[in-house]
Structure 1
Amino acid sequence: MEARDLDVLLITDPANMFYLSGYDAYSFYVPQILIVTPDQNQPIWVGREQDRTCATETTWLDYENIVVYTDEYVDSDNHPMSFVVDLLAELGRATGDVGVEMDADYFSAHAYHELTHALSEATVHDVTKLVNRVRMVKSDAEVACHREAARISERAMEKGIAAIEDGVRQSDAAATVYEALLEGTETTGGDYPAIVPLMPSGEGTGSPHLTWTNETYKEGEPVILELSGVVNRYHSPLTRTVFLGEPPAKVRTASEIVVRGLEAAIDAVEPGVTCEAVERAWRDEIAGTMVEKESRIGYSTGIGYPPSWVEKSASIRPGDTTELQPNMVFHMIPGVWFDGYGIEISESFVVTDDGADVLADVPRELIVK
């Protein structure tokens, strides 16, 4: 904030709110805001009246730093942002330079309009990635959450692969995956993921973000399974592709190329290397093959709430000059999609002094059943 000359920071991204205060409740579908100012030793959480106890239960904030608006501001012409500005005025912070996360998923156009209209004497700045970039380098305790989440991912992947069989209803396999994600491990229970398990099959695997249907799996079809275990909202995403029956030669070839490229990129990871250099290792490995990919092959991950576990900070793609540092965590997913089928084999990893430490231990190959 000091570097950006900010007098006030308004946080609306649930992941950033959790990071700065500990607030953790499924209440982000209504406006909630964390107010950070340099002269206060605690932020102020502002939310719906009935969620006060959620804040007292989950945050480290003193009671007086938990401020609520009444239900007259919920789904009405009275917007909570006007309440926030009144509070800022009481604090003597309704002027000066105010930072707002313009691209946060739950900061609406209506919220922006109400905020800027009421803050007529302030200058509003877009600080969309300010906290996200700070979050990139995890503490050892945060990395431990990622590692435990990876144990859940392993278990859910194992059970999911076992459940995917010719004639099995796709929704039943999805139920098996969900059960494993929520059941967790012997040492910790699971939590709901920020993204539902993505489980396209057949020609649907040619599209990256389909889920499951009410149809049954069929012999001769691929199935993609992308999921993530969650511990204390920290995610460890993992993806594998299953083929029911003997896969065509082109599917085997594509999957082998994807694995080679993935491993080349993982081998390129070390502190001081840029994200684009890691992507270049993938691109060099797959050059001249049947596999092409123009979109990014990975992204920083960490705390996640719906709709995404993506940290929205650094991406493994050309042009991203972010330098890797120890305790950064990434999900590398070089998925490729063709007419009629797709291949996704991914790994989450933590950057260490020695390179990339892959978090999950699942065979890195096309799973043939």
Structure 2
Amino acid sequence: MLFSEEEYRARLAGVRVRMTRQGLSALLVTDPANIYYLTGYNAWSFYTPQLVFVPADGPMLLFTRAMDAGGAFRTSWLPSECVVGYPEQYVHRPHVHPFDWVAFALRERYLIAPAAKGCVGLEMDSHFFSPKAYRSLVNAIPEWTLVDSFELVNWVRSIKSPAEVQLMRGAAQVCMAAMEAAVETIDVGVRQCDAAAAISQAQIKGANGIGGDYPAIVPMLPTGEAADTPHLTWSEDRFEAGQAVVIELAGAHHRYHTPLARTLTLGKKPDRLAKLADAVADGLNAVLTEVQPGVPVRELARAWNWTLAKYGLEKPSRIGYSIGIGYPPDWGERTISIRSEDESVLAENMTFHVIGGMWMDNYGYELSESIRVTADGVETFTSFPRELIQKGG
């Protein structure tokens, strides 16, 4: 197992404490990141329905496709009797759903009635929990009162254990190798897809003896005038002289992610981009200076907004979010967002991707750091130069 049994039991205990506070008698977990957090199960099987049944007391049950049950037993800490595979004939059928079978399996184990004493939580915003899956549960288990769990497990995940922090440090080594590959490969005349390939190779190969994992998000490379918007990937076009390229990527190690963003210009730095880079660097430094346990998240946003205002700039979107375990399509934990409206308070071993992204008219700039809240300040996971990178010119 990647973590000790004691750590897994502590995670389950933390989830159950929150279940009690929310009045839940059971919880159904479908987010692959949360399944991994609770059980250790790790495979590319989330394209078919799977769930973990977490009762108020007693053992958890992991339900997955029958052909994947062996993999679940090999990668999780659960005993074999707690890993249950549903039959193949339930996979991708128009009139039946795997959760029809799962519901009957729970009924056969006499687990329906105990969970009916309170509400049963569902991950209603999980990427891999479909309306058809919900309808299946509603129809098959009319005794249950199904309610949104409001990212219950995600919130428990927000504070990392020392073992998790160490894995994120490993991911940071992979991340820096991938960013180095990006900077080395991107050049005038090089195809964008070739740069993406070099980045992907570095992400999987790893660095310094640390093996890479597949990242939850592919490399993003908004280029030239298209750098005025985030989340663009790559094309087969060739990089041109004078273009700026926004590079956002992550290193992943045992599913833990540390993202990083930098901006590279092919030739002399345009004055408007250089000025924007100065503003973003000052803003990011102001944010990191504020980080310590007990500080409201909104204070980080305030520091950013105040600094940008001195440059006559503003940024309406959030400037960061909680990170850790990631599966496609996202490496964020979907809990804490660094913005003025967030009511969260920083605690030691929370981890974030802090993003200074500015998208202007026909150009843009991005600078980010992955960080950990320490006992008295902040740890940045990577040590890549925090500047606008000039190549040539």
* TM-score, normalising length: structure 2: 0.92
* Cα contact 1:296–1:334 (8 A) shared by 2: no
Of 65, 68, 80, 1:48 maps to: 65
- 8 Å CA contact 2:258–2:370 kept in 1: the answer is yes
1:22-79 CA-partner distances (Å, limit 9, x unpaired) = 0100010000000111221x31110101101110110011111011111111010210
Amino acid aligned to 2:294 = G
Query: Is 1:14 the counterpart of 2:36 in the alignment?
Result: no
- Choose which of 276, 280, 289 in structure 1 pairs with 2:311: 289
Using the alignment, how far apart are the partners of 2:313 and 2:183 within structure 1? 25
Q: Which residue of 2 aligns with 1:57?
A: 74
User: Within 1, Cα distance between the matches of 2:57 and 2:177?
Assistant: 46
In the other structure, the counterpart of 2:164 is 142
Corresponding position of 2:107: 89
Q: Which residue of 1 aligns with 2:214?
A: 192
* Counterpart residue identity of residue 21, structure 2: A
Q: What pairs with 1:227-238 in structure 2 (closer than 5 Å)?
A: 227-238=249-260
Q: 2:309 & 2:343 partners in 1: Cα distance?
A: 22
Distance 1:265 1:186 in 2: 30
d(CA) in 1 for partners of 2:50 and 2:150?
A: 16
User: Post-superposition shift, 1:290?
Assistant: 4.1
For 2:388, the equivalent position in structure 1 comes to 366
Cα deviation for residue 230 of structure 1 reads: 0.7
Q: Please say if residues 33 and 45 of structure 1, whose CA atoms lie closer than 8 Å, have aligned partners that are also in contact.
A: yes
* Identity over aligned pairs, percent: 45
Distance, in Å, in 1 between the alignment partners of 2:298 and 2:233 is 30
Q: How does 1:279-318 map to 2 (within 5 A)?
A: 279-318=301-340
Q: What is the one-letter code of the residue matched to 2:204?
A: L
CA shift, 1:215, in A, is 0.5
Instruction: Say which SS state the counterpart of residue 333 (structure 1) adopts.
Output: strand
Q: Post-superposition shift, 1:93?
A: 3.1
SS at structure 1 position matched to 2:331: strand
Aligned to 1:112: 134
Which of 240, 247, 263 is residue 262 of structure 2 equivalent to? 240
CA distance in 2, matches of 1:137, 1:3: 18
Q: C-alpha offsets along residues 128-150 of structure 1, whole Å, 9 cap, x if unaligned?
A: 31000100110001000111111
Q: Secondary structure at the match of 2:20?
A: coil
1:327 and 1:224 mapped to 2: Cα distance? 29
Deviations 1:59-109 (A, max 9, x none): 011111011111111010210111121122223332332110000000001
Counting only pairs closer than 5 Å after superposition, residues 122-161 of structure 1 correspond to structure 2 as 122-161=144-183
- Contact 2:228-2:359 within 8 A present in 1 as well: yes
Once the two structures are superposed, the pairs formed by residues 141-220 of structure 1 within 5 Å of their partners are 141-220=163-242
Amino acid at match of 1:82: D
2:341 matched residue in structure 1:
319
The structural deviation recorded for 1:200 is: 1.5
The whole-number CA distance in structure 1 between the counterparts of 2:30 and 2:286 is 38
Contact 1:7–1:93 (CA<8 Å) still a contact in 2? no
Measured in 2, the distance between the counterparts of 1:271 and 1:202 equals: 39
Contact 1:166 1:219 in 2 (8 A): yes
Structure 2 distance, partners of 1:213, 1:135, is 36
> Which of 89, 96, 101 matches 1:72?
89
Contact persistence 1:8–1:93 (CA under 8 A): no
- 3-state DSSP class of the match of 1:259? helix
* DSSP-derived class of the 1:185 partner: coil
Counterpart for residue 20 of structure 2: 2
3-state SS in 2 of match to 1:334:
strand
Q: How does 1:23-42 map to 2 (within 5 A)?
A: 23-40=41-58, 42=59
In structure 1, stretches of 5+ residues that fail to align are none
Distance 2:218 2:361 in 1: 24
Residue in 2 aligned with 1:270?
292
Matched, 1:347 2:364: no
Q: Which moved more, 1:212-221 or 1:84-93?
A: 84-93
Count of aligned positions:
368
> Would you say the 8 A contact 1:240–1:366 is kept in 2?
yes
1:257 counterpart residue number? 279
Offset at residue 305 of structure 1 (A): 0.2
The structure richer in helix per residue is 2
2:350 pairs with 1:332:
no
- Which structure 2 residue ranges, 5 or more long, are not aligned? 1-18
Quote the offset at 1:313 in angstroms.
1.1
Structure 2: how far apart are the matches of 1:289 and 1:83?
60
